[in-house]
Each structure stands twice: as C-alpha cells, then as structure tokens.
Amino acid sequence: MTALVDDRRHLLTTGLARYTESGVVGRPSLASARKGRVVLASLVSSFGGCLSALK
C-alpha cells in the first residue's frame, strides 16, 4: 500500500496541506546543486514557447 505522502495524484485538487505541514514535498535530502541546475535549465527551455505565446 502506498503512503499518502507518496501518492500525490490529488495534490492540485486537495492542496499541499494534506501532504505536508512544512511545505516540503518529496525528499529534499536527495537534492543536489547539479540536479537543481538540470531542472532549472529544463524549465527555462520548456517555458520559451509559453512566453512567446504571451507576447
């Protein structure tokens, strides 16, 4: 059985408070600067089309 904190299918519907008191979701101890750079680069790359549409 999957714990509620691991099953976030309804996060956008029910809100963050159902999953965490601190506002942290996931396992931040697994984060690294390299992973952060990769995620940020991906977000910048994928947002370009949205930004163009808003101009």
What DSSP string runs through 19-53?
T-SSS--S-GGG--HHHHHHHHHHHHHHHHHHHHH
pTM of the predicted model, to two decimals? 0.52
Residue 9 DSSP code: T
Q: What is the pLDDT of residue 43?
A: 92
Which letter, b or e, does each residue of 26-35 get, where b requires 16 or more Cβ atoms within 10 Å of its Cβ? eeeeeeeeee
Domain total of the chain: 1
Domain that residue 14 falls in: 4-54
Per-residue pLDDT tens digits for 1-53:
455 557 788 888 988 888 888 888 778 899 999 999 999 999 999 988 888 89
Q: What is the pLDDT of residue 52?
A: 87
Q: Read off the tokens for 6.
A: 């691991």
